Amino acid sequence: MKTMIYKGYELSDQTLQKHIKEVFHKGGLVVFPTETVYGIGADATNPEAVKQIFKAKGRPSDNPLIVHISKNSDLELYVRDIPLIAKPLMDAFWPGPLTLVFNKKDIIPNEVTGGLSTVGIRIPGLKIARDIIDIAGLPICAPSANLSGKPSSTIFDHVASDFEERVDIIIDGGKAEIGIESTVLDITTPIPVMLRPGAVTKKMIENVLGYKIIDSTETKIEDTPKSPGMKYTHYAPKGKMTLVDGNEKEVIQYINQEIKKHKKEKTAVIGASEYLDQIDADYKVNLGHLNDLNEIASNIFIALRQMDELGIHYIYMHTLSNQDIGQAIMNRLSKAAGYKIVKL
């Protein structure tokens, strides 16, 4: 299949708009940028189109897709009931990186939700993404644009390497600003449950609601059947990744020792610049400064993908604060490391 590649700023072009609309309406696939990660999108009301997403990604069919809409008033078209707490959350965080889980209407086929009676919906914060949804004139279901099991794509090169020749259109919107997938919050239960941490943090949600929510990521992931996607291994690089937790001095000493042990193989350290200066590895990937967790978040998936591109055998990284967006970062890193964390 020939993939057409366009730039986000070309979207005002009428011919391009016509092409995008046609692709969505005939059940095709469009990869597009959002503020979290790139998405691979299809018409969420067309089961055949939805199946194509699972096929292109190699995604297990019980892993639900998030439906993207462009305005609050469209929500009622796709969900059976809108709990009272939805409004303050939407007012505070939409458009933005918060997916809310509702009871779905029949117009959203089971293919989208992996057989669940609920559907995750959000309005993306990036205007290019909302424009694409408006051009389509459809709800767009879009999981992260990566082959299943690989880290999510946050830059054009990574979506192109996974999906060129496999989708109809790729829209290049540059680097994703946040770089980590949306927070997922189930509001179908009496007390909302955070199913996946993201840039909208638990604290931010609790501040809006005025009470505590349940954090399912604190319990064992396998015990959370309500969010099927969480049970699959994600993001894992081919090399062996280890997270090292402890004070800065101990961590640096430990990683330097480990790297010496693996002299004959390719080693890499991913980390904040403050740590990297003191570590000796074949490759070092600088995520940014320790005091800027947002910058670090935006570079995590790029770094993980680089590990495979470079053929690294052993990867080390220090842990980060679990506060604020740190919880989402540590959630993704722990998965990437297969939960291998050395505590010093």
Q: Which of 64, 192, 197, 271 binds ligand AMP (CB under 6 A)?
A: 64
123, 70 in Cβ contact below 8 A? yes
- What are the CB-based long-range contacts (under 8 Å, 24+) for 12-21? 17/135, 19/169, 20/132, 20/135, 20/136, 20/169, 21/135, 21/136, 21/137
Stretch that binds ligand AMP, among 80-88, 123-131, 167-175, 226-234 (CB under 6 A): 226-234
Smallest separation, CB 282 to ligand AMP (Å): 31
Residues numbered 268 to 307 that lie near ligand AMP (CB under 6 A) are none
Q: Which stretch binds ligand AMP (CB under 6 A): 70-78, 117-125, 210-218, 278-286?
A: 117-125
Smallest distance from ligand AMP to CB 226, Å: 5
Contact yes or no for 66/183 (Cβ under 8 A):
no
- Identify what 118 binds: ligand AMP, Mg ion, none; CB under 5 to 8 Å per kind: ligand AMP
Q: Which residue in the shown chain puts its C-beta closest to Mg ion?
A: 144
Please report which helix (H) or strand (E) contains residue 134, including its range.
helix 127-136
230 near ligand AMP (CB under 6 A): yes
Closest Cα partner for 156 from 280, 239, 254, 32? 32
80: contact with ligand AMP by CB under 6 A: no
Contacts of 55 (CB under 8 A, 6+ apart): none
- Site residues for ligand AMP, 133-192, by CB under 6 A, read 143-144, 181, 184
Q: Which residues of 308-325 are buried (b: 16+ CB within 10 A; e: fewer)?
A: eeeebebbbbbbbeeebb
Residue 268 touches which of Mg ion, ligand AMP, none (Cβ within 5-8 Å per kind): none
Instruction: List the beta bridge partners of residue 243.
Output: 317, 341
Is 120 an interacting residue with respect to ligand AMP (CB under 6 A)?
yes
* Dihedral sign, Cα of residue 320, residue 326, residue 331, residue 335: negative
Least distance in angstroms from the C-beta of 224 to ligand AMP: 9
Pairing of strands 39-43, 66-68: unpaired
**Is position 229 an interface residue for ligand AMP (rule: CB under 6 A)?**
yes
How far is it, in rounded angstroms, from Cα 220 to Cα 139? Answer: 33
Does 144 sit near Mg ion (CB under 5 A)?
Answer: yes
Q: Is 113 in the site for ligand AMP (CB under 6 A)?
A: yes
Residues 164-200 as b/e (b if ≥16 CB within 10 A, e otherwise) read eebbbbbbbbeebbbbbbbbbbbbbeeebbbbbbbbb
Q: Which helix (H) or strand (E) holds 315?
A: strand 314-318
Q: Where are the beta strands (DSSP E) in 13-96?
A: 30-32, 39-43, 66-68
- Which partner from the list ligand AMP, Mg ion, none does 183 bind, CB cut-off 5 to 8 Å by kind? none
Of 13 and 218, the one with the shorter C-beta distance to ligand AMP is 218
Question: In whole angstroms, what separates CA 1 from the centre of its chain?
Answer: 26
- Under the criterion CB under 6 A, does residue 320 sit at the interface with ligand AMP? no
**34 binds ligand AMP, rule: CB under 6 A:** no
Tell me the closest approach of the beta carbon of residue 67 to ligand AMP, in angstroms.
8
126 binds ligand AMP (CB under 6 A): no
Residue with smaller CB distance to ligand AMP, 62 or 282:
62
Q: Please state, in angstroms and rounded to a whole number, the distance separating the CA atoms of residues 305 and 262.
A: 21
Contact between 36 and 198 under an 8 Å Cβ cutoff? The reply is yes
Task: Determine, following the binding rule CB under 6 A, whether residue 63 of this chain makes contact with ligand AMP.
Answer: yes
User: Out of Mg ion, ligand AMP, none, which partner does residue 184 contact, by CB within 5 to 8 A per kind?
Assistant: ligand AMP
Identify the residue among 56, 101, 159, 304 touching ligand AMP (CB under 6 A): 101
The binding site for Mg ion (CB under 5 A) comprises 144
> Residues interacting with ligand AMP, by CB under 6 A?
63-64, 66, 101, 113, 116, 118-120, 143-144, 181, 184, 195-196, 226-227, 229-230
